[in-house]
Structure 1
């Protein structure tokens, strides 16, 4: 397979790999299709937040394959892009010696919302939509 036909490998990183990086992965898989091979991971992985699954499902995006993973096993892998989606991860991101580019796209942490269930869901939807828009713009810029 020539480089022109090889998928662009993208890794989204966040602290827990429970919300933002999962949303970014799902949206790039959706909007980028076979042009991208997408993964996500966290510095301190937890469990995928149920509200992440809910807001992605509302858009009809598949979520069954999403699971929180740690970053350490991925450090030596080859990625075209390593994209951090939160300031904390950007500040503490390990070096990926085989990554071509590193980008920082900071989004609010929806899991940090401490209001009512309805208000928390609205924060998850807002962040989901912001990530979705950023992914669509980025994919269009690379087309």
Structure 2
């Protein structure tokens, strides 16, 4: 099953979702991309994922253009910006979903607060994508 996770910068939320989905099932073909890819991962995202036992430091921040000609079982946007600017995959996507999350990169305040925002969003992503994974697994067993 091929899954593409889209965000605006492809540096944080989409990378976390990518890491979690692959950790749930190594047989899934998971990729992530950005509508305006930043070209790098957010170090805080890498850190909080490592704390959760998942290494995403080897991921790359890619433009969605790289994947437009591919066929996908699911294309999932995780931020409002990507949802609004998501390019049309014109029939090459079986299911297009939006599972949105706050951007912890926007958090302001003490280092402790910023860290807590990354952890909060990471945990929300883990729960939402685990539920998504269970749902698609159940549907494929029918």
Is 1:96 paired with 2:89? yes
Q: Could you tell me whether the CA contact under 8 Å between 1:31 and 1:135 is conserved in 2?
A: no
Is 1:75 paired with 2:85? no
Q: What value does the CA root-mean-square deviation take over the aligned residues?
A: 0.9
For structure 1, list consecutive stretches of 5 or more residues without a partner in the other structure.
1-7
The count of aligned residue pairs is 135
In 1, distance between residues paired with 2:57 and 2:82?
Answer: 25
For structure 2, list consecutive stretches of 5 or more residues without a partner in the other structure.
138-142
**CA deviation profile, 1:101-123 (whole Å, cap 9, x unmatched):** 10001100010111121111110
Is 1:123 paired with 2:107? no
Q: Which runs of 4 or more aligned residues in structure 1 lie more than 4 Å from their structure 2 counterparts after TM superposition?
A: none
Is 1:42 paired with 2:34? yes
**What residue number does 1:25 align with?**
18
Residue 56 of structure 1, aligned match among 45, 49, 62: 49
**What residue number does 1:15 align with?**
8
Residue 108 of structure 1, aligned match among 99, 102, 124: 102
